[in-house]
């Protein structure tokens, strides 16, 4: 085996891509390590290699690694260095896209929500507090990546400066800051940018000196490359940095697919003229509360990031994979390597509810309230994801007759003495609601849900979550709140005291509740959690957040990788907000789509 010094190579961008003076055809696939449990990284990368790719691309989401200012995570699924080294062991080159903003249908486009604690925050531009935060992050991240570059004996051949910046702004000084900061932190490999080439102003605004412009598109490769050539000039290689071979889904919409034959035809046209990175090779899963929201869409993106990619969400080979493999073999030689990871898919079966806890029974046990005369946002509470309960108490002689939200993002359910009055969401968020029959001195509880910050568009600075202004009761503003943050982390889940579900059947019409399923597993399999009968909420297995569910679909099941199970006792907790629940859940290996849409 070569040592680091002997393994050093030179990757250059001239009229084409060159490795040690020889032209190299880059055929890459996007694999998001942060959407795949670490135990399966090698399997996905081996399958990428067997399809014929010589390179793997990944984003690095800032909020995944610095969830709180100055507190970094590099363990488990967060161990990006291990992911890069695994690719290196398989002989794969790496394209790293570490820009502060990544889009990727990921919460807030990868930006950490704590940036919004600065009420004057200006994102993705030369606003000094923002640049200072980026610099602090890069001063930690870049020295970790620098030794892994190809000219240091590693496998990183290119790095991206920003992502689709032409859609957002034209602050060239900001792009230059990112470029120069990366260089100061030891990044020596060539730089790239990526933008949509179908509009000149977009493509040019995303460019910066010292970086190769690349394009993002899913069809019409000949025309798209022709547009790129017009906007970047001759004498440079053409690369599609995101070949969209599928698409993502939003709640309430249909599942998006691209026919394998159509995608294969586009790939062949693309490879005739340039280089490619598949977006995605495998999409994976936006576990937890990390699925994003696209450009004002009300319902946000589903938990699954299957993307109709060559590999399914759970890593299975598709017809699209086989067609791509055949086309790639025309452009570079390939040889299958054995798959080294044993993946077993199976059935854990039907499991019955063993405990139930109404949210308002356990609220004060699991969350420490913050008292404030006015509502605080999630960012002000340092509780960036999940839910918040805002509690307001009516005057002893006052009856609720009219309610209005003067500042609220996403979705809220209003309860009066635990009785659901109204769900406020999207079209009706600015309405004035009228009530009768409410008793005097009622306790109003507002269960607010953060459905995901936008990950694309120019509205990123407007993504503060929670109530951003006091509610108006009977046509005047109400002051005085108890605020209960509900990030639903492991600490909060551990505090829940469950009762027998049978003893609670008659309580809590339409009330949010936690449902407990305890069971023994004799073996561990990849499987899917079927949530038929439940309304809306989030599910956990052994404290791990599997993600959101919603009966409106298209996603009906949540993926559970085998490694999240334990041999012996296992615990599933479901938090459901609509008062809809089933007495049992079922676990089998059927995919994420609803039965009527499965193929």
Q: Which residues are catalytic?
A: 164, 242
Q: Which two tokens stand for residue 592?
A: 């994420």
- Beta bridge partners, 279, equal 244
Q: In what order do the strands lie in the sheet with 387-393?
A: 370-372, 481-486, 387-393, 443-449, 411-416, 419-425
Determine the Cα–Cα distance for residues 400 and 21; give it in Å rounded to an integer: 76
Cis peptide, bond prior to residue 544, ω within 30 of zero: no
Q: Following CA atoms 272, 273, 274, 280 in sequence, which dihedral angle do they give, to the nearest 10 degrees?
A: -60
Determine the Cα–Cα distance for residues 413 and 420; give it in Å rounded to an integer: 7
Residue 421 contacts residue 445 (beta carbons within 8 Å): no
**Rounded (5°) CA angle 548-551-555:** 60
Q: How many residues does the chain have?
A: 599
419 membership: H or E segment, kind and range: strand 419-425
DSSP 439: P
Determine the Cα–Cα distance for residues 480 and 106; give it in Å rounded to an integer: 35
Q: From the centroid of its chain, how far is CA 460?
A: 15
Residue 370 contacts residue 466 (beta carbons within 8 Å): no
Three-class DSSP category at 360 = helix
Nearest Cα residue to 248 out of 223, 279, 217: 279
DSSP, residue by residue, 175-214: HHHHHHHHHHTT--SPEEEEE-TTSHHHHHHT--TTEEEE
- Beta bridge partners, 388, equal 448, 485
**Rounded (5°) CA angle 504-509-510:** 120
Q: Which two tokens stand for residue 24?
A: 């190299």
Q: Which two tokens stand for residue 327?
A: 């086309």
Three-class DSSP category at 248 = coil
Nearest Cα residue to 471 out of 423, 404, 410, 425: 404
């Amino acid at each position: 085996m070569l040592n680091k010094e002997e393994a050093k190579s030179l990757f250059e961008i001239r009229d084409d891509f060159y490795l040690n003076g020889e032209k190299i055809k880059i055929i890459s696939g996007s694999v998001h390590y942060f959407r795949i449990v670490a135990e399966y990284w090698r399997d996905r990368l081996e399958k990428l290699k067997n399809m014929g790719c010589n390179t793997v691309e990944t984003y690095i989401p800032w909020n995944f690694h610095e969830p709180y200012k100055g507190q970094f995570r590099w363990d488990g699924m967060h161990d990006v260095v291990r992911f890069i080294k695994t690719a290196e062991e398989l002989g794969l080159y790496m394209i790293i896209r570490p820009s502060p903003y990544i889009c990727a249908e990921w919460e807030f486009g990868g930006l950490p929500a704590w940036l919004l604690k600065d009420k004057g925050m200006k994102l993705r531009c030369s606003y000094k507090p923002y640049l200072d935060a980026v610099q602090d992050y890069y001063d930690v991240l870049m020295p970790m990546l620098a030794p892994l570059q190809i000219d240091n004996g590693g496998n990183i051949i290119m790095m991206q400066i920003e992502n689709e910046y032409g859609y957002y702004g034209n602050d060239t000084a900001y792009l230059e800051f990112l470029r120069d900061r990366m260089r100061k932190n030891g990044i020596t490999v060539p730089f790239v940018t990526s933008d949509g080439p179908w509009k000149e102003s977009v493509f040019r605004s995303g460019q910066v000196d010292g970086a190769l412009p690349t394009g993002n598109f899913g069809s019409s490769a000949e025309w798209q490359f022709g547009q790129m050539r017009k906007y970047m000039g001759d004498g440079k290689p053409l690369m599609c940095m995101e070949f969209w071979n599928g698409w993502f889904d939003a709640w309430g919409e249909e599942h998006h697919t691209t026919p394998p034959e159509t995608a294969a035809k586009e790939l062949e046209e693309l490879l005739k003229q340039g280089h490619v990175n598949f977006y995605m090779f495998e999409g994976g899963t936006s576990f937890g509360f990390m699925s994003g929201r696209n450009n004002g869409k009300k319902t946000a993106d589903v938990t699954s990031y299957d993307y109709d990619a060559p590999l399914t969400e759970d890593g299975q080979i598709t017809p699209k994979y086989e067609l791509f493999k055949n086309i790639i073999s025309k452009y570079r030689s390939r040889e299958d390597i054995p798959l080294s990871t044993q993946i077993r898919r199976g059935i854990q079966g039907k499991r019955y509810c063993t405990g139930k806890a109404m949210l308002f029974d356990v609220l004060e046990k699991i969350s420490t309230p913050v008292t404030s005369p006015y509502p605080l946002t999630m960012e002000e509470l340092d509780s960036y994801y999940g839910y918040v309960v805002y509690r307001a108490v009516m005057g002893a002689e006052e009856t609720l007759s009219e309610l209005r939200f003067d500042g609220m993002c996403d979705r809220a359910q209003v309860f009066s003495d635990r009785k659901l009055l109204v769900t406020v969401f999207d079209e009706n968020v600015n309405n004035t609601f009228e009530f009768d029959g409410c008793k005097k001195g009622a306790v109003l509880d507002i269960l607010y849900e953060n459905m995901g910050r936008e990950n694309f568009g120019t509205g990123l600075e407007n993504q503060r979550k929670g109530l951003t202004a006091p509610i108006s009761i009977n046509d005047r503003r109400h002051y005085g709140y108890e605020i209960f943050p509900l990030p639903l982390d492991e600490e909060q889940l551990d505090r829940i005291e469950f009762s027998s579900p049978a003893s609670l059947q008659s309580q809590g019409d339409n009330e949010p509740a936690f449902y407990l399923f305890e069971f023994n597993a004799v073996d561990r399999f990849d499987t899917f959690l079927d949530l038929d009968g439940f309304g809306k909420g989030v599910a956990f297995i052994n404290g791990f957040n599997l993600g959101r569910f919603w009966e409106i679909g298209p996603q009906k099941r949540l993926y559970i990788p085998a490694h999240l199970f334990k041999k012996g006792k296992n615990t599933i907790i479901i938090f459901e907000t609509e008062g809809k629940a089933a007495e049992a859940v079922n676990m089998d290996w059927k995919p994420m789509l609803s039965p009527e849409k499965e193929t």
